[in-house]
Amino acid sequence: MGHYIQVEENVKIHVEDIGSGQPVVFLHGWPLNNKAFEYQTSLLAKNGFRYIGVDMRGYGKSDKPWSGYDYDTMAKDLEAVVNELRLEQFVLAGFSMGGPIAIRYLTKFGQDNVAKLLLMGAAAPIFTQRDDFNVGMKPEEVDDIIAQIEKDRPAFLAEFADLFFEQKHSPQFLDWFQSLALEAGAHSTLNSAVALRDEDLRGELSSITVPTAIFHGKKDQICPYELGEILDKEIPNSVLVPFKDSGHGINADEPERFNNELLSFLKSSGV
């Protein structure tokens, strides 16, 4: 079933809420929405978990305001969802851009209510290179992406799909993937790209105390595997799970292994 949750005046967030049991809150990547996890939704419900799929502001069925695409506001939106649904001892699962937003939620709003953290192909601790950080895209490359989106968003998204996956997928699947991205607001897509380019979570990782699993594709061309290694090194109670045949979209490139590892992590007593 779907909920619309008021996060601020004139802004509602859409949330899919399926199954019962321990809640697992999924935060999607840029520029998708919670439907990107449709192959996990039934899996969780069948195995005694409650799937909570958040369409972040600007994406999917959520409202698409002009502003609020920084990580602080996105994390605050998540807090409103958690409070409204009265979620307790939930698992927080962030994919790509959803990864840093999950981290910011923990460090800004506390970890007492979170049982575990799952980071999947996370765009963290930083998505772009700095003078003292040489992993990931250069800021100018993100500026180029912004320019391409402003010129022809559908064409850019078609190319982005090619980068996203390592394995071959059907043309229909790639069309579906692009259709998810086209549900986003154009301005939302651009403003989130700015956040991805500029935000920095390096000082926040060591304070995360919940058991954490880091799923990352070895062949990820969007968030390099080295980011997963950095997260594993900096987050105290973490385990890194490499997906050797996957690009960025690990749940589609290695679906069976992804689902097995997901259930194994959810059912474990800790890391």
* Parallel/antiparallel/unpaired status of strands 11-18 and 49-55: antiparallel
Residue 248: active-site member: yes
pLDDT in tens, 179-231: 999 999 999 999 999 999 999 999 999 999 999 999 999 999 999 999 999 99
Residue 220: active-site member: yes
Residue 179: active-site member: no
Which are the contacts of 75, defined by CB distance < 8 A and separation ≥ 6?
A: 101, 104, 105, 108, 109
User: Catalytic residue among 77, 246, 248, 253, which?
Assistant: 248
24 pLDDT higher than 80: yes
Share of the chain above pLDDT 70, in %: 99
Token output for 237: 């109670």
> How many folded domains does the chain comprise?
1
Q: Domain containing 177 — which CATH number?
A: 3.40.50.1820
Check residue 206 and give its pLDDT.
96
Check residue 152 and give its pLDDT.
97
**Which structural domain range is residue 250 located in?**
2-267
Check residue 239 and give its pLDDT.
98
Q: Give mean pLDDT, residues 104-108.
A: 97
CA angle 222, 141, 250 (to 5 degrees): 5
Are the beta carbons of 29 and 97 closer than 8 angstroms? yes
Check residue 269 and give its pLDDT.
74
Check residue 1 and give its pLDDT.
82
User: Catalytic residue among 14, 55, 96, 246, which?
Assistant: 96
User: Catalytic residue among 55, 63, 77, 220, which?
Assistant: 220
Check residue 2 and give its pLDDT.
87
Average pLDDT of the chain? 96
pLDDT in tens, 232-247: 999 999 999 999 999 9
Q: Give mean pLDDT, residues 90-114.
A: 97
33 pLDDT higher than 60: yes
270 pLDDT higher than 60: no
Q: How far apart are CA 171 and CA 180, in angstroms?
A: 14
Report CA-CA distances (Å) from 85 to 65, 75, 111.
Answer: 23, 15, 17
